[in-house]
Structure 1
Amino acid sequence: MRILFVCTGNTCRSPMAEGMLRKLAEERGLQLEVRSAGVAASQGAAMSMHAEAVLRDQGIEDTITSTPLSAELVNWADLILTLTSGHRSHVIHYFPESADKIYTLKEYAESDSDVLEAQGELQRIAAELELDRALGKKPDEAMQRRLAELMRRMPTYDISDPFGGSRVEYDATAAEIKAALERLLSKLEQAASEEPGEAG
């Protein structure tokens, strides 16, 4: 499976998520390809000093440099996980045809069944409205009202941005990301074990 993390500049949150997921998946024996990008990233910028230190303290020596989000990366990914709902909206806006594989990390790692059901409906309505917008159709007002109602009921899925902050803030963000990654891996393991004819 190919997973792409997306944040703003691809120097703090998404490279931390990329490095941590690669290591955690390896420890669990899961075959994943992981990359990251930024919606406002330049090409080849170094990770922030604190983000690099956070990864190094976890035994992750990956050299990850920033990459701007592109159609090529969106097509490469089986699953696109953004660090905030703002990033998710941005990616869906520019790549509406890929809306069904774009989630926030925390949203995708969610395990509460009521929330998951509402999420599925929200995802369908958002994708449909976005497609209508892309095709120049007038948006359906009832669907817009339902979307607003679902949005109000959703827990917040944004992961705090430590950019410009202290090492303590980076550690807090990394802990938040890691907790979501652990839930994500459990979900992927469960899905893999349920696949017919697949071993382990």
Structure 2
Amino acid sequence: MHIMFVCTGNICRSPMGELLLTRYLAGTTVQVSSAGTRGLPMHHIDPSSGRLMDSVGIESSGFRSRRLTRRMAESADLILCFEKEQRKDIVTLAPTAIRYTFLLNEFANMCEYCAQNGLVHGLTIQERLQSVIESSQIIRPLIPEPTNIEDPHGKEFAKFRVAADQTNAAIRKILTSMRKHYRVNEAPARPQLLSPRFAA
């Protein structure tokens, strides 16, 4: 399974999503990547996002941004974005991706709903996530309206911490829901990653 995080510039939010989920799923065969709808190719991660990743022991210096292409979107099995407008941009670029493109908070709520209602199926995390994707059209009206994770680009460091906390919380909700049937690999830094807030 290939999971892709997509934000606007691919330097603030989606890199954090990619790096966090990669750490959480260490030891699995899930591929995680990221891109931006208006991405700046080969740009470094924003220093504030990099600082937050460093604070939980994730090496971010090698990250380079990418601009989303139709081929990238069509190669993914699950696309997680941060704003409603980004979802529109993604499905305009790659119409077939509409079936597996969600706001991050939306998909987290779907995973939780499916777990609570016995709708998560499969032996592997890939199969379980796919079962949520396949149920998404039915359960979308049953979950709360998803909220955006605001873009911290050009803002004070505190805004980056908020975006990191919200991204981490949504990822935790997804993996906790899947962990009802699957134990996510516990990497050494997991206690830090699961802390309520990132370090200053």
TM beyond 0.5? yes
- Paired amino acid for 1:97: T
- For the 8 Å contact 1:16–1:51, the answer to whether it is kept is yes
- Paired amino acid for 1:53: R
More helix by percentage:
1
**Secondary structure in 2 matching 1:4:** strand
Distance in 2 of aligned mates of 1:191 and 1:102: 24
Distance in 2 of aligned mates of 1:81 and 1:38: 11
Q: Give the superposition deviation at 1:73.
A: 1.3
1:182 corresponds to: 172
- Paired amino acid for 1:183: K
Q: Give the superposition deviation at 1:70.
A: 1.0
2:186 corresponds to: none
Distance in 2 of aligned mates of 1:102 and 1:71: 13
1:47 corresponds to: 45
1:103 corresponds to: 102
- For the 8 Å contact 2:4–2:33, the answer to whether it is kept is yes
- Superposition CA RMSD, Å: 2.6
**Residue deviations 1:54-104, cap 9 Å, x none?**
101110103211100012211221101111111111111221112111111
1:171 corresponds to: 161
Q: How many residues align?
A: 162
Distance in 1 of aligned mates of 2:108 and 2:100: 13
**Secondary structure in 1 matching 2:25:** helix
Consecutive unaligned residues in structure 2, runs of 5 or more? 115-131, 184-200
1:72 corresponds to: 71
Q: Kindly, what percent of the aligned residue pairs are identical?
A: 27
Distance in 2 of aligned mates of 1:64 and 1:32: 18
Return the TM-score normalized by structure 1.
0.72
Distance in 2 of aligned mates of 1:44 and 1:15: 12
CA radius of gyration, larger in: 1
